[in-house]
Chain A
Amino acid sequence: MYAVRRFAVRRSRFFLRLYRVFEAAIVLFDPLFRRLGYQRLEGPVAFAERLTKGFLFDCRMCGQCVLSSTGMSCPMNCPKNLRNGPCGGVREGGFCEVRPWMRCVWVEAWEGAARMPGGIERIRVVQPPVNRALEGSSSWLRVAREKAAERRRYGRSADPSKHMLARAFRRARQIEPAAAPTAFEPDSALSVQWSRQRTAVFDYEPGKPAADTDAEGRE
């Protein structure tokens, strides 16, 4: 809802603090999630995420949430899906080029970021394009997988496509690993089934076994 999402941007500082606590908790729960199985959790968690974030931020479930880098204004509400700031068509008063009755998502984002500690530094970071195969999946679980994987150095996918993207957008990945994920994705988190075999095609060093992980992210 438009009014709620504008409220969330005005309270961006509060929502950032709330999210920080929540994120710490879900990252802590990673061992439990792994025991229960990310594959199985995907459906119910994505449903809960869609309800909460949909109500608060008009979340579109891109699966790669960067709200804390965009002043709590969801960039997927931009009719052009811009992840890196406003286009050149913003109207007088900061209204959208495509939907003139709506405030530009990115004008809102800058205002929200200015209210958040460190918000301006984060909004300056170049964000990678969205991985459309992850649309509809839970960003919360992805954050848990990515951060736990970083901490334990497990679950690194051998898919070089994800690594090149993560390398090209290194800073965005450092700040928000789920923006350019490299950890293992359970099948239930993919809206498009991509071929597991394609890693073999793209492998730079033929003969070297792919260091992929099992369905639950164990090596």
Chain B
Amino acid sequence: MPAFHEREPFDPTLHEPPAPPPGHRSGSILERVLRRGEFAVTAELNPPDSADPRDVLAAAEPLWDVADAINATDASGANCHMSSMGICSILSRCGVGAVLQISCRDRNRIAIQGDVLGAAAMGVGNILCLTGDGVGVGDQPGARPVFDLDSPSLLRTLRTMRDEGAFLSGRKLATPPAIFLGAAENPCVPPLEYRAERLAKKVRAGADFIQTNYIFEVEPFRRFMARVRDLGLDGKVYILAGVGPLASARAARWMRANVPGIRIPDAVIDRLERAARPGEEGKKLCIELIREIREIPGVHGVHVMAFRREHLVGEIIEESGILKERLGVEA
């Protein structure tokens, strides 16, 4: 498997923060790939319940050769794990592009703005602004939900920090953070007719790229993208479609019932149920979906979320042929 980054280890005690190339907002590899017009790949890392940095590297290893950036989730599903900030700092020190995820559920505007400066100082170039799942679905449902900001107001706050060089309070920053701003959108859940409008709002708020939630059927996503193109958003924001391999029919049913915002059609569950090797079938379904999504105009990449199936990400990307295309090799 070829390595696709120019991997430059970053040590904040030795190096200056990477300056963005002309016309770029950040020094991020992901931004460079997207601006070159190539089909980008990002992948989600399963954060360890551990204080050992080697556990982070072990989780990142199956991903870093195929992904332009690795997303470190921020207590996704309101379950406590190692922080996104810690993981992104380790990854950037290894020269791996990282996406810091910020959920509005756990931190207020004071904490978040400080974290953004810290992350940028550690060489993190991408930040994904999320609202976050409610605390009730996680392992500590008694926690206080914060929700001081929401995803669009967080985007606008970070854009203000980057472009105006000031906190939301008006206080000036000595060095503004050079960051590529992302947001999420969930194309397959209600209100379907307003999902593209909500994406537009996030673009107006400051989103440079979008990583969508899981997509398991292509039709609703195709309709969503048609609306996105009608609104003229495909030229304003880079959209990465969220995909992932399912392990079994049982796992799919569990996800559908317990993880907020996941829609898995019965047809997909049936196919997994009928398959002799459901794991293989899940992978095949994911590859088919990537190939179909690749053909939709306005899609600029895929975001692979392979929860506990990270070992499959390399094969999925290779077999889907999207990177070969990028290298100009016949698929």
Contacts and interface: CB of A to CB of B under 8 A. Distances in A.
Given A97-B260, A107-B190, A168-B160, A84 B169 contact: no
Nearest to B197: A124
Contacts of A87: 131, 261
Interface residues of B, number: 44
Contacts of B205: 84, 126
Interface residues of A, number: 38
Contact of B152 (A94, A110, A126, A204): A126
A36 interface: no
A90 interface: yes
Interface stretch (A13-21, A75-83, A138-146, A184-192): A75-83
A83 B170 contact: no
Contacts of B191: 86, 90, 94, 104, 106-107, 110
B171 to A, nearest CB: 6
Contacts of A98: 134, 136
B194 interface: yes
Nearest to A201: B171
A53 interface: no
Interface in B88-131: 104-105, 109, 131
Interface in A93-127: 93-94, 97-98, 104, 106-107, 110, 124, 126-127
B145 interface: yes
Contacts of B145: 79-80
Contacts of B149: 129
B166 interface: yes
Contacts of B204: 124, 126
B169 A161 contact: yes
Given A85-B194, A126-B156, A90 B150 contact: no
B148 interface: yes
Contacts of A164: 160, 164, 166-170
A128 interface: yes
A112 B132 CA distance: 25
B190 A82 contact: no
Given A82-B147, A164-B167, A165-B169, 18 more contacts: A84-B151, A86-B194, A86-B198, A88-B131, A91-B189, A110-B194, A124-B200, A126-B201, A126-B205, A128-B153, A129-B148, A129-B149, A132-B148, A168-B157, A168-B164, A168-B168, A202-B171, A204-B172
